[in-house]
Structure 1
Amino acid sequence: MSVENLLDFRDVEKCPRLVIKIGSALLIHPDGEPRFEWLRTVAHEISGARERGQEIIVVASGSVALGASMLELPDGGRGTLAHAQAAASVGQVFLASTWAQLLAEYNLKAGQMLLTLDDLEGRSRYLNARNTLRELLERGAIPIINENDTIATNEIRFGDNDRLAARVAQVAGANGILLLTDVDGLYDKHPEEPDAQMLSEVRGVTEEIHDMATGGSGSGIGSGGMTSKLLAAEIAERAGIALAIIKGKDDYPIGRAISADTGTLFLPKRDDNAFKNWIGGRLRFSGSIRIDDGALKALQNGKSLLAAGITGVFGDFERGDVIAIEDAQGRMIAKGMIEYDKEDCVKIRGLRSDQVARRLGHVPRSAVIHRDQMVML
């Protein structure tokens, strides 16, 4: 069984493990003060989910905004990297203690995890994060997760907690993700336009769906927007995880949205195995390979990538790195673990298998990127 509608997010059989993402605009008033009473209603909903037998993970933004208010920093603490990191350092302590206090009112324990992009891009650290999450859940704790803004730079940032939530759901083997936001769901145009229509269900995020999104945070407090939520939905749909965007401003937001059946549900397209989930969720690459139309068709038919179809090699990568695969127009169409380093890829691009052996002087590997180590987008 799997999630098929919003009500299923409360079904312990269809959604035994749920990730709830809460953005800064919901956690914090415009003046920088936390919305304590609203948070208490969310803690009550988490308690109800635990009583039903669901395991809950919370991805919570707000540390920078909280810390900026406490340190009286301009521009919400995001004027400079130093300001943002200092604000996060102070805000994270306050945020963690707030969650611990509120959950304790329902006899629940909170466990904090601060992650950077590198923690989930490297395979060994990814597995370490998975083991920690699973242990916390088995012990009945509620993991409270945020990006580690105290040390994250532009090079190692998720940049928004929507994609972080999707990656955490992958790591944890979750069945569903609820993105609480300040709008009802995804609209076919800007929600303020009078003829805007909300989509109740999306089966596959397409270019047309992306065109409906508006970038940036409407509140000006957070770092995400509808575009980041669609990117999160793409990660989730490849991992077999249902994701919903629901309005979170009101008290008891999850129960209100689900009972009223209002929000946008993104249904998964497939369910990759754990290793492919890790590859499919990768956000950063050390290089890429460009292929011709014949190779593209072969990949779409489930074949591995051979040297003959390669037309370009970019970046600096080694064997075992996960790289991007681009079509003839330079659009990323897949991600995969490469079997050759960059230098050898340059030598063998465009060659048939028998020519590869002569060029390298040894028996070549069966493929440049094997289909079992590749994820089509």
Structure 2
Amino acid sequence: MTIARLADLADPALAPRLVVKVGSSLLVDKQGQPRRAWLQGLVAELAAARARGQQVIVVSSGAIALGSRRLGMKGGGRASLADAQAAAAVGQIALAGLWADLLGAHDLAAAQILLTLEDLENRPTYLNATATLGRLLDAGAVPIINENDSVATQEIRFGDNDRLAARVAQAAGASAVILLSDVDGLYDRNPRDPGAIRIETVQGITPEVYAMADGGSASGMGSGGMTSKLQAAEMAGLAGIALTIGSGLVDAPLARVIDRGVGTLFLPVRKAGAMKAWLGGRLRLKGSLVIDDGAEQALARGGSLLAAGITAVEGDFARGDLVAIRRKDGALLGKGLAEYDAPACHQLQGRPTSEHQAILGYAPRSAVVHRDQLVLL
């Protein structure tokens, strides 16, 4: 049995482990103060989920907003990278204390984990995070996770907690992700437009689904928009994880999503193995390999990427780096670990395997990207 409707998110048999993401505009008001009464209601819902046998992880925004108020910063702490890093350093203390206090009222222990993009892009630290999350949940704690904004840079960061939530769900082996935000789901157009219709269920993220997205965060306080939520759904789906978008602009938001069915449920279309799900969720691509139709068909049949099917090599990457595999029109087809660096790929592109040893001067590898180190999206 698998999750098929929003009501299934309350079933411990179908959703034994949940990730709930809370956006900045929900946690902090316009004056930079915690929305404590609303949070008390949400925590009561999380405690109820625990009581019925579900494990819960919270991905919480709000550190920058809380810290900027305490430091008296203009622009909500986002005027510069230095402001954001400083505000986050102060705000994380307040944020952790807030969650610890509220969960403690239900006799639940809060555990803080701060992550950077690099922590989850690197395989050993990703596995360390997996082990830590598992142990905390088994011990009865509620992990409270946020991006480590005090050390993250603009070049090396998730940039929003939607994708972080999906990545954490992969690492934790979660069944579902619930993104609470300032919208109550995906609409077929901008929800402010007259006649906009909320989509109840989506199976597979297609270009047509992305075309429905509206770019920004409505509150101006957070960093994500609908596009980042769709990217999160795509990442979660690759690991066989369902993802839901629901509004947190109400009291008891989980009940509105689960009991009343107000939200959009994204169903995974397939489940990749753990290694391939990790590859598919990685965000830092070092280059691209553009392939022809024959190579695309071979990949669809489960084959490796051979040099003969490569029509262009883009970027400067080393052996073992993650590269994009793209169609001729630039559309992203998949991701994989390169078996050669960029100069060698330039030498080999379009050439049959029988010529590789003469070109390279050494015994060639079996493929440019081996099927075991490649995931199609």
Alignment TM-score, normalising by the size of structure 1: 0.98
Give the Cα–Cα distance (whole angstroms) in 1 for the partners of residues 332 and 215 of structure 2.
Answer: 21
Give deviations 1:46-68, integer Å, cap 9, x for gaps: 11111111111000000011111
Report the Cα distance in structure 1 between the residues aligned to 2:284 and 2:372, rounded to whole angstroms: 20
Which deviates more from structure 2 when the two are superposed, residues 335-344 or residues 193-202? 335-344
Residue 89 of structure 1 corresponds to which residue in structure 2? 89
Equivalent residue for 1:177? Answer: 177
Partner of 2:47: 47
Match of 2:199 in 1: 199
Aligned to 2:252: 252
Q: Secondary structure at the match of 1:260?
A: coil
Is the counterpart of residue 330 in structure 1 residue 330 in structure 2? yes
Q: Provide, for residues 226-272 of structure 1, a one-character-per-residue CA deviation record: whole Å limited to 9, x for no partner.
A: 11101111111111100001111112110122111111000001111
| Aligned-pair CA distance for 1:339 | 1.3
Give the secondary-structure state (helix, strand or coil) at the position aligned to 2:259: helix
**2:31 aligned counterpart, secondary structure:** coil
Letter in 1 for 2:223: S
Deviation at 1:209, TM superposition (A): 1.1
**Could you tell me which residue of structure 2 aligns to residue 120 of structure 1?**
120
| AA aligned opposite 2:174 | A
1:95 is paired with a residue whose SS is helix
Shift of 1:183: 1.8
For 1:347, the equivalent position in structure 2 comes to 347
Displacement of 1:182: 1.5
Structure 1 unpaired stretches of 5+: none
Q: CA deviation at 1:143?
A: 0.5
Separation of aligned partners in 1, 2:115 and 2:180? 20
Residue type of the alignment partner of 1:280: G
- Determine helix, strand or coil for the equivalent of 1:155: coil
**Paired AA for residue 276 in structure 1:** K
1:38-84: CA deviation from partner (whole Å, max 9, x where unpaired): 11111111111111111110000000111111111111110011111
Q: Matches of residues 348-363 of structure 1 in structure 2 within 5 Å?
A: 348-363=348-363
Per-residue CA deviation, residues 315-338 of structure 1 (Å, 9 max, x unaligned), is 222222221111112222110011
In structure 2, how many angstroms separate the alpha carbons of the residues matched to 1:257 and 1:171? 24
Matches of 1:2 and 1:297, distance apart in 2 = 30
Contact 2:81 2:154 in 1 (8 A): no
Which residue of structure 2 lines up, in the alignment, with residue 140 of structure 1? 140
Q: Provide the rounded CA distance (Å) in 2 between the counterparts of 1:211 and 1:306.
A: 33
Q: CA deviation at 1:287?
A: 1.7
Tell me the CA shift for residue 341 of structure 1: 1.9
Paired with 1:283 and 1:147, the residues of 2 have a C-alpha distance of 15
- Following the alignment from structure 1 to structure 2, what is the Cα–Cα distance between the partners of residues 139 and 340? 44
Tell me whether 100-109 or 351-360 shows the greater mean CA deviation.
351-360
Residues 175-213 of structure 1: per-residue CA shift (max 9 Å, x gap): 100000122211111111221100000011111111111
> Percent of aligned positions with the same letter in both sequences?
56
* Alignment partner of 1:14 is 2:14: yes
Distance in 2, Cα, partners of 1:23 & 1:131: 26
CA contact (8 A) 2:334 2:375 kept: yes
Partner in structure 1 of residue 56 of structure 2: 56
Report the AA paired with residue 157 of structure 1: R
* Alignment deviations for residues 126-182 of structure 1 (CA, whole Å, 9 cap, x no partner): 111111111111111100000111111111110100000000001111110000012
Instruction: Give the whole-Å Cα distance in 1 for the aligned partners of 2:78 and 2:340.
Output: 41
Point out the more displaced range, 144-153 or 323-332.
323-332
Listed one character per residue, the Cα deviations across residues 263-305 of structure 1 (whole Å, up to 9, x for unaligned) are: 1000001111110011000101122211122212221222210
Structure 2 unaligned spans of 5+: none
Distance (Å, rounded) in 1 between the aligned partners of 2:316 and 2:135: 37
**Equivalent position of 2:235 in the other structure:** 235
In the alignment, the residues of structure 2 paired with residue 5 and residue 311 of structure 1 have an alpha-carbon distance, to the nearest angstrom, of 43
Q: Distance in 2 between the 1:232 and 1:280 partners?
A: 11
The aligned residue for residue 371 of structure 1 is 371
Which residue is 2:276 aligned to? 276
**CA distance in structure 1 between the partners assigned to 2:199 and 2:331 by the alignment:** 27
CA distance in 2, matches of 1:274, 1:205: 20
Q: Which residue of 2 aligns with 1:155?
A: 155
Structure 1 window deviating more from structure 2 (132-141 vs 322-331): it is: 322-331
Q: Distance in 2 between matches of 1:219 and 1:27?
A: 12
Amino acid across the alignment from 2:363: V
1:320 paired to 2:336 = no
Distance 2:46 2:53 in 1: 11
How many residue pairs get aligned? The number is 377
Q: Quote the Cα distance in structure 2 between the aligned partners of 1:34 and 1:229.
A: 24
User: What do you get for the CA RMSD once the two structures are aligned?
Assistant: 1.1
